[in-house]
Amino acid sequence: MNPRLQEAFEQVPALLADHVLLSAAALLLGLTVALPLAVGASRKDRLRQFALGAASLVQTIPGLALLALFYPLLLALNSLLAPLDVALPALGFLPALLALGLYAVLPILRNAVTGIVGIDPAIIEAADGVGMTPRQKLRLVEAPLAAPVVMAGIRTATVWTIGAATLSTTVGQPSLGDMIFAGLQTQNWTLVLVGCLAAAALALTADALLGLIESGIAQRRRWMIGTGLVALLAGVTLALAPLVLAQSRSDVVTIGAKGFSEQYILARLIGDRLEGAGYEVRYREGLGSAIAFEALARGDVDVYVDYTGTLWTNAMRRNDNPPRDEMLEQLSNWISETREARVLGRLGFENTYAFAVTQETARRHGLQSIDDLAGVAPQFTMGTDVEFLNRPEWTSIRTSYGLDFAATQSYQPTFMYRAVESGRADIITAFSSDGRIAASNLFVLSDPRGAIPNYDAVLMVSPGRADEERFIAALTPLLDAISVEAMREANYMVDRDAEKASPSEAAQWLAEQIAR
Amino acid sequence: MDRKNGPAVRFDGLEKSFDGGASFAVESLSLEIVGGSFVALVGESGSGKSTLLKMINRLVDPSAGTVKIAGEPVEEQNPADLRRHIGYVFQNIGLFPHMSVAENIMIIPRLGAGEIVNTVPELLDLVGLPVDVSERLPSELSGGQQQRVGVARALAGEPGLMLMDEPFGALDPVTRDQLGETYRALHDRLGLTTIMVTHDMAEALIIADRILVMSEGRIVADGPPETLLAGEGGAEANALIAVPKGQMAKLRKLEERS
C-alpha cells in the first residue's frame, strides 16, 4: 500500500472510536433534552413556540463558533464554582459534548413535536374517551404513533452530529477531524480524504441502522428494531473498549500541537523521543493557541511547543518588549508560579512574524524595512493567518509604524503563501521558520523599531510532568538543538507541493540532523 | 354479558360557554334520563348536542351546573376512571391504527379497569363480526366493520351507559341501517342506557325511545317518537320531521305511478 495511505489508515481506528463515543454521547444528551421538552411543547402552545425558537436560534450559530463559545463559558462557570472546589474541564470532551448535544436538540425536538401534534385528533379523542390518563396516552398512543417521525429527526440529528463532531478537534477533543485539520494544514490530501471518508462512512452506517429501526417501527417488525439497536450498541461498545483497556495500561503521555506544520513535526519529534524512553504517547493536534496553553496548565496535554512572544502577549497580557533572555526568564517564573507548569527551555530557533513581499514588489516600491511600508500600505492588501489580526502584536506593530492597509484578508497558512505569490495579497505576515519564504523567494522586511516581539520556540511541560526525571531527561537533548535552517527545511519537506513528506518523516529527518 | 339496568342520568342547571358567558353552547339545562332508556339528541350543527354529550363523560367540563350518573356527580370522579366505565362511540371512530382489532377492543381492561369479563371473540360476536378479524389492523377493515369494532371496544369496559356521537354518520345507508339495528338489539339485550347524538331525525325516530330536540343550546322538544310524529313537538321538531316525511311522500308517489 502507498505509505501515505497506510499512515492515514493507521490513524483511523483510535480517532474513529473517539468520534463514535463523542457523537453517541452528544446524541444521548440531545435526546434527553429534546424528548421531554417535545412532550411538554406538544401540550402547551407557548412552550412550543419558545422551545422551537430557542432551538432554531442555536442552530444558526456556526458549529465551530458554538464549540469555541463553550470554552469561555465553562471557564466562567468554573470561576463561579471555585468556592465549591469544583473544576469542570473547559477543554476536550465536555465542551464538545455540550455544543454537539445542543446542536442535536433541534431536529429531534422539531420532529417529535410535529409527530405528536400531527396525530389524527380522532385518535386522541378516542384515547381520552376510553379513559387513558395523560401518561397512558403518551405511552400507548402518542409515542408509538409519533415514533417514525421522531426517528426521522434522530436520523437527521445523527448525521449532523457526526459531521459537526469533526470540529471538536479545535477544542482539544480528538475526532476524525484531527485528520482533516492536520491534512489541511500540511496539504496532505490523502489524510483529509481518509478522514472525510471515515466520517462519512460512519454517518451513513449510523443513518442506515437508524433507518432500519425506523422501518421496523413503521412496519411493526420487531427483528428490524432489534437488529438496528444491537448493531448500534455493538458499535458504541467497540468504541468504548480501547478506553476501558487504556485505563489499565501504564503511563500515556499526551503531546499537544497547534494547527500548523511545524507543530505537527515537533509533536512527532517529541513523541518519538518519549517512545524511545518507554512512554506510550498520543497526540492532540490542531489546538488553538490559547487552548493549547490552558490544556497544558490543566494537564490535559503533557508537553507541547509554544513561542515566547505568544505567551508573553496572550497568556501574560504584556505589551512591552524586553530583551530575549529577560523575556524568557520572566515568562518561566510567571508560568511556574501561576500554572505550576514548566518552561523547559529553548529549542534553538525562532518563529517570529515576518512581513514578506515578493522580490518584485520589494524592488518596485523600494522596500527594505517595515518603515518603508507605511507610505505604500494604503494601496496594499495584507494577507495574514487567521489569528494575527486579533493578536496584540498586530496592534503594537501597527501603532509603531503607522500602518494602514487598504484591505486585510485571513488565510490558512498554506493559502496565505499562495495569495502573495499570485498577487491577491501584496504582503503577508509569514513565519520566519517557514521553508516557503525561501522556496517562494520572498523578501522579508526588517523591523528596525523592534516592534515584533521575540518568538523563541520553547518546550512546555505540564505541572504533572515538571519534576519527572525520566520525562525531562528524554526531552533535554532537544534543547538548543534545532537551528532555524533545519526547522525551515523540515517544514518545507511537509509544505512543498511535490514529494511531500509526512510530519513523522520530517520529524525523523530532523532527529537525524540533531544527532549529527 | 348479563342484562342489567343502565344508570339514570340527570342534568341540573347545566351550562357551557366557550367564550366566558357571551354565548352558550348549552344553556341552563335540567332534565332526567331514565335508566335503561334509549335517548336520541337531535339538532342542527352547532345546536350544542355534542357539547352536552361530552359533559357527561367530562371530555368537556361545564361552566355551571352538574351532571349526575346514578345519583353521583361526575365532577367528583377521576375523569380517566369515569370514562373507563362509560362507553363512548363517535363518528370518526378513532381506532388506534398501530394496534390490532383485538388490542383495540381490549384497551379498556388493559388500562386497569378491573378484571377481564368478556373475551375478544364474545365481544366480536356481540357486534356481529367474525372472530378472524381480531388479528387484523383497523386499516384492513371497511368503515362499517371499523365502527363495529368501535362499539365492541366501548362495550369491553362493561359500561351501563353508552354515549354515541353521530356513531353511524360516516357510513353508507345500508351499513348504517344494519348497524343501527344491531346496536338497538344490543341495547335491549344488555339493558344499557344509551344517549345518541344525531342530526338525522329519521334515524332518531326509528331507533330511540325518547327524542330531545336541541336548538341554540336549549331543549326545544322532548317526547317519544309517536308524539313527535303526531306533530305535538313544536315548530322546530316539526320542521325536522317534515324532511323525512316529505321524502317518504315523494317515494310513495313514485311507487304508485309505476
pLDDT for B187-199, tens place per residue?
999 999 999 999 8
Instruction: Say which range, A34-43, A73-82, B143-152, B207-216, has the weakest mean pLDDT.
Output: A73-82
Domain boundaries of chain A, sorted by first residue: 3-247, 252-351+455-515, 353-444
Fold agreement between A252-351+455-515 and A353-444: yes
> Closest-CA residue in chain B for A148?
B98
Q: In this complex, do B108 and A220 lie within 8 Å of one another by their Cβ atoms?
A: no
| Residue among A130, A136, A137, A145 with most chain B CBs within 10 A, to mutate | A130
DSSP code of residue A312 = I
> Closest-CA residue in chain A for B111?
A132
* Percent of chain A at pLDDT exceeding 90: 47
Cα B39 from Cα A360, distance rounded (Å): 103
Residues of A in contact with B159 (CB under 8 A): none
The pLDDT of residue A247 is 55
In this predicted structure, the answer to whether residue B4 has a pLDDT above a threshold of 80 is no
Q: What is the pLDDT of residues A237-293, one digit of tens each?
A: 888 887 666 554 457 899 999 888 899 999 999 999 999 998 988 888 888 777 888
User: Does B187 touch chain A if contact means CB atoms closer than 8 Å?
Assistant: no
Which are the contacts of B80, defined by CB distance < 8 A and separation ≥ 6?
Answer: A131, A132, A133, A136, B111
Residues of A in contact with B157 (CB under 8 A): 130-131
Q: In this complex, do A126 and B98 lie within 8 Å of one another by their Cβ atoms?
A: no
Residues of A in contact with B96 (CB under 8 A): 123, 126-127, 140-141
Which are the contacts of A330, defined by CB distance < 8 A and separation ≥ 6?
Answer: A316, A322
**What's the rounded mean pLDDT across residues A430-435?**
88
| Residue among B98, B136, B140, B151 with most chain A CBs within 10 A, to mutate | B98
Give yes or no for a contact between A39 and A54, defined as CB atoms under 8 angstroms apart: no
Calculate Rg over the CA atoms of chain B.
19
In DSSP notation, A78-146 reads HHHHGGGT-----STHHHHHHHHHHHHHHHHHHHHHHHHHTS-HHHHHHHHHTT--HHHHIIIIIHHHH
> Closest-CA residue in chain A for B163?
A129
Cell of A95: 465542551
Give yes or no for a contact between B58 and B79, defined as CB atoms under 8 angstroms apart: yes
Looking at CA atoms only, how far is residue B97 from chain A in angstroms?
Answer: 8
Mean pLDDT of chain B: 90
Residue position matching grid coordinates 432500519: A212
Q: In this complex, do A130 and B111 lie within 8 Å of one another by their Cβ atoms?
A: yes
The pLDDT of residue A92 is 80
Cell of B43: 339538532
Q: What is the pLDDT of residues B141-197, one digit of tens each?
A: 998 899 999 999 999 988 999 999 999 888 888 888 888 999 999 999 999 999 999
Q: How many CA atoms lie within 13 A of A120 on its CB side?
A: 12
State the pLDDT confidence band at B114, using cuts at 50, 70 and 90: low
Q: In this complex, do A130 and B90 lie within 8 Å of one another by their Cβ atoms?
A: no
Give every strand in the sheet of B26-33, ordered side by side.
Answer: B26-33, B9-16, B64-69, B72-73
Task: Provide the ipTM.
Answer: 0.90
Which are the contacts of A508, defined by CB distance < 8 A and separation ≥ 6?
Answer: A272
The pLDDT of residue B235 is 87
Give yes or no for a contact between A354 and A488, defined as CB atoms under 8 angstroms apart: no
Cα A347 from Cα A458, distance rounded (Å): 6
User: Does B155 touch chain A if contact means CB atoms closer than 8 Å?
Assistant: no
Q: What is the pLDDT of residues A151-199, one digit of tens each?
A: 999 999 999 999 999 999 888 788 999 899 888 877 788 889 999 999 9
In this predicted structure, the answer to whether residue A344 has a pLDDT above a threshold of 60 is yes
Residues of B in contact with A123 (CB under 8 A): 94-97
In this predicted structure, the answer to whether residue B2 has a pLDDT above a threshold of 70 is no
Give residue B208's identity as a one-letter amino acid code: A
Beta bridge partners of B26: B16
Nearest alpha-carbon partner for B43 in B254, B239, B180: B239
As a CATH number, domain A3-247 is 1.10.3720.10
> Closest-CA residue in chain A for B100?
A220
- The SS3 assignment for A284 reads strand
Cα A266 from Cα A486, distance rounded (Å): 12
Chain A residues near any Cβ of chain B (below 8 Å): 120-133, 136, 140-141, 144-145, 220
Cα A116 from Cα A36, distance rounded (Å): 12
Q: What is the pLDDT of residues A347-368, one digit of tens each?
A: 999 998 889 999 999 999 999 9
State the pLDDT confidence band at B105, using cuts at 50, 70 and 90: very high
Nearest alpha-carbon partner for A23 in A104, A112, A105: A104
Residues of A in contact with B83 (CB under 8 A): 128-131
Cα B77 from Cα B15, distance rounded (Å): 19
**What's the rounded mean pLDDT across residues A53-64?**
86
Nearest CB to B111 within list A121, A125, A136: A136
User: Quick one: fold of A252-351+455-515?
Assistant: D-Maltodextrin-Binding Protein; domain 2 (3.40.190)
Give yes or no for a contact between B66 and B75, defined as CB atoms under 8 angstroms apart: yes
DSSP code of residue A454 = P
The pLDDT of residue B154 is 93
Q: What is the pLDDT of residues A307-333, one digit of tens each?
A: 998 898 888 888 788 888 999 999 999
The pLDDT of residue A248 is 47
The pLDDT of residue B116 is 64
- The SS3 assignment for B77 reads coil
Residues of A in contact with B81 (CB under 8 A): 131
Residue A155, number of CB atoms within 10 A of its CB: 22
Mean pLDDT of chain A: 88
Nearest alpha-carbon partner for A425 in A453, A406, A444: A406
**What's the rounded mean pLDDT across residues A83-107?**
85
In this predicted structure, the answer to whether residue B95 has a pLDDT above a threshold of 60 is yes
Q: In this complex, do B157 and A128 lie within 8 Å of one another by their Cβ atoms?
A: no
As a CATH number, domain A353-444 is 3.40.190.120
Cα B160 from Cα B52, distance rounded (Å): 18
Give every strand in the sheet of A353-358, ordered side by side.
Answer: A407-411, A381-385, A427-431, A353-358, A442-444
Cα A316 from Cα A311, distance rounded (Å): 6
The pLDDT of residue A391 is 78
pTM of the shown model = 0.76
Segment 36-65 of chain B within 8 Å of chain A by CB: 57, 59
